[in-house]
Structure 1
Amino acid sequence: MSKAKTDKTAPELDTPTDLSPDAVNKISTALNTLLADAFALYLKTKNFHWHVSGRHFHDYHEMLDQQSDAIFATTDQLAERVRKLGGTTLKSISQISKLQTIKDNNEEYVPPREMLRELMEDNKHVAAAMRKAHELCDDNDDPASAGLLETFIDETERRTWFLFEASRQEGSNAA
């Protein structure tokens, strides 16, 4: 059974699926929001990677670089999952800014511990949003999207854990 064409999908992009148009819309919306947050979190993590300073510079610089790479690696998989479902995905920075729930940080200087804590909270926020999207996928009989999210939730929790531990170290070593 093929998905009926929706007003938002060009006929050339109307990928066949056995999911209902309502399910495709709901799941695509949730995944696109996660995708926008992934881009926002990627850029914030890179920003902090580029601007971290202090006695733990090397360790934090390396950790944030690794984390930003891992976050960026999720973007193509999320976008391609939306397309596999028959939805359309993000097309521009302006669309990302409309959908993202992660707040940007444009401060001139952010102390290292605050960077780590802010990223920790952002990653916790993303994990919670992924869990909600996972539930939506389960409710709409989409185990493939749910499985993808399970992997991403685990990776996000790992980043949260590392940021938590590194920020504790920073706080205990601060004079």
Structure 2
Amino acid sequence: MSSHINTGIDAADRAEIAQGLGRLLADTFTLYLSTHNFHWNVTGPMFNSLHNMFMTQYTELWNAVDPIAERIRSLGMPAPGSYAQFRSLSSLPDVPDMPAKALEMVAILASGHEAVARTARSLYPAVERAHDEPTADLLTQRIAVHEQAAWMLRALLET
């Protein structure tokens, strides 16, 4: 932790927010891996639409990890970046076995996006208490992306 940072957020608040952002980073990266995995391995009559949808989603997730990690660094903390760290910090389960059906993949990803939105939303009390508007803005953007993705995925599951 850097003691020379003086941006108006005290060290304890910066540490708490950075820890929460570390969980968000781990969730985002874990969901990215699952989404990319499913993009590679989806089959069936919805192959083309799901293959393209998953590509759009994993690209968005990949583009999100850097701003989250850089916000952690801006707060003066190291960003987690190893598989071991992500595994211990993430609220999402790994997907070690390939789902047999495309709609199982869709359900796993919908649940994953909802979980990431919950992780992001859980940071608001600390962020608001510290008046950390840049992190609040980042969280608002991430929640919107994950809620929309979850909605689109859930729409595919309706019968």
Q: What is residue 147 of structure 1 aligned with on the other side?
A: 137
Q: Return the offset for 1:163.
A: 0.4
Aligned match of 1:63 in 48, 53, 58?
Answer: 53
SS at structure 1 position matched to 2:32: helix
Q: Return the offset for 1:125.
A: 1.0
Aligned AA (2:101): P
Larger Rg: 1
Q: What is residue 100 of structure 1 aligned with on the other side?
A: 90
Q: What is residue 150 of structure 2 aligned with on the other side?
A: 160
Distance 1:53 1:160 in 2: 21
Residue ranges of structure 2 left out of the alignment (5+ in a row): none
Q: Return the offset for 1:88.
A: 1.4
1:105-116 equivalence runs, <5 A? 105-116=95-106
TM-score w.r.t. length of structure 1:
0.85
Aligned AA (1:65): M
Distance 1:127 1:76 in 2: 17
Distance 2:133 2:92 in 1: 26
The question of whether the paired residues in 1 share the 8 Å contact of 2:2 and 2:77 is answered with: no
Q: Return the offset for 1:109.
A: 3.8
Q: How many residues align?
A: 159
Aligned AA (2:63): A
Choose between structure 1 and 2 for higher RCO, CA contacts under 8 A separated by at least 6 residues.
2
Aligned match of 1:52 in 32, 42, 45?
Answer: 42
Residue ranges of structure 1 left out of the alignment (5+ in a row): 1-8
Query: Which 4+ runs in 1 deviate beyond 2 A?
Result: 14-18
Q: What is residue 79 of structure 2 aligned with on the other side?
A: 89
Q: Return the offset for 1:108.
A: 3.7
The question of whether the paired residues in 2 share the 8 Å contact of 1:17 and 1:86 is answered with: no
